């Protein structure tokens, strides 16, 4: 963290509902997390999470990926905006775009993601259905550093839930999401405290 700062600054990237973003904002509001949320950015104009963020008094921006003709130009626009906020960490919270290597390396060790599986299992999409189909007895979520490879990179923290025999993807997703909302603030807390040690 920049040495003259009392709090680590976060920029949070979302694409939709933004419930993980909300859990981080609420943990900060309740004093459980010593961070300042500098901005919430979305690649989708209608992302429901944007309303919550702006009502919480947080700067919001939309950088619509459809307005860019390449991943590189979209990622460059994102980085230009993010860098203006001088964040200590960039937090992907349901941000559903694949990022270029250039973007990822620009934020090396500062780019964090939450993924709804016990990595390295079930990278990619439809993780809950795939866990059920594979007959898993346990499933969960992982917070990890982002590296150039999709849903790879060192895991910071994981949370596990049981898989029940009558689960479908929705019931399992709901059980995992409840854990995600505890897990992401806890993982950020760990990162921030390591920075100030
Ligand atoms: C969360 O379950 C998150 O783990 C997942 O999208 C959901 C977003 O929900 N992320 C990924 O699948 C990334 N590969 P939210 O918008 O309510 O936080």
Domain spans of the chain, in order of start: 2-115+141-158+184-196
pTM: 0.96
Is residue 115 annotated as a catalytic residue, yes or no? Answer: yes
Looking at ligand 1, which atom is closest to the CA of residue 18?
16
Contact 145, 180 (CB under 8 A): no
| Homologous superfamily assigned to 2-115+141-158+184-196 | Formyl transferase, N-terminal domain (3.40.50.170)
Tell me if residue 37 falls in helix, strand or coil.
strand
CA 155 – CA 149 distance, rounded (Å):
13
Q: Is 17 left (phi over 0), alpha (psi -120 to 50) or beta?
A: alpha
DSSP 99: P
Ranges 6-10, 111-115, 142-146: which has the least confidence: 6-10
Q: Is the dihedral of CA 15, 90, 180, 28 positive or negative?
A: negative
C-alpha of residue 70 to centroid of ligand 1, in Å: 24
pLDDT for 2 equals 60
Gap between the Cα atoms of 8 and 185, Å rounded: 13
The one-character DSSP state at 32 is S
Q: Which of 94, 123, 152, 171 to mutate to test the pocket of ligand 1 (most atoms within 8 A of CB)?
A: 94
pLDDT of res. 195: 77
pLDDT score at 4: 59
Ligand 1 residue neighbourhood (C-beta within 6 Å): 14, 16-20, 93-94, 114-116, 141, 177, 180
Q: Which of 2-6, 46-50, 76-80, 169-173 has the lowest mean pLDDT?
A: 2-6
- Enumerate residues 6+ apart whose C-beta is below 8 A from 137: 162, 163
Residues 146/128, Cβ–Cβ less than 8 Å: no
Could you say which of 65, 106, 115, 128 is catalytic?
115
Q: Which atom of ligand 1 is nearest to the CA of 22?
A: 18
For range 174-190, the mean pLDDT: 98
Which residue's CA is minimally distant from atom 5 of ligand 1?
A: 94
Count of all residues that appear for the chain in the document = 197
Dist. CA 139–CA 171, nearest whole Å: 12
Average pLDDT of the chain is 96
- What confidence tens digit (pLDDT) does each residue in 17-44 have? 999 999 999 999 999 999 999 999 999 9
- pLDDT tens sequence across 77-135: 999 999 999 999 999 999 999 999 999 999 999 999 999 999 999 999 999 999 999 99
Instruction: Please check the confidence at residue 150 and state whether its pLDDT lies above 70.
Output: yes
């Amino acid at each position: 963290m920049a040495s003259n700062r009392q709090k680590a600054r976060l920029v949070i990237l979302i694409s939709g509902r933004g419930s993980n973003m909300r859990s981080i904002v609420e943990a900060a509001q309740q004093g459980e997390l010593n961070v300042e949320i500098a901005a919430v950015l979305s690649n989708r104009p209608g992302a429901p999470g944007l309303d919550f963020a702006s009502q919480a008094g947080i700067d919001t921006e939309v950088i619509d990926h459809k307005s860019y003709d390449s991943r590189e130009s979209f990622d460059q626009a994102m980085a230009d905006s993010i860098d203006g906020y001088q964040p200590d960490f960039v937090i992907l919270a349901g941000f559903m775009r694949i990022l270029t290597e250039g973007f990822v390396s620009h934020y090396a060790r500062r780019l964090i993601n939450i993924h709804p599986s016990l990595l390295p299992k079930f990278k990619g999409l439809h993780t809950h259905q795939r866990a059920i189909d594979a007959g898993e007895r346990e499933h969960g979520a992982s917070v990890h550093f982002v590296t150039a490879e999709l849903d790879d990179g060192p895991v910071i923290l994981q949370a596990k839930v049981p898989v029940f025999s009558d689960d479908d993807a929705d019931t399992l997703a709901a059980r995992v999401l409840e854990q995600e909302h505890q897990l992401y603030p806890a993982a950020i807390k760990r990162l921030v405290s390591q920075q100030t040690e």
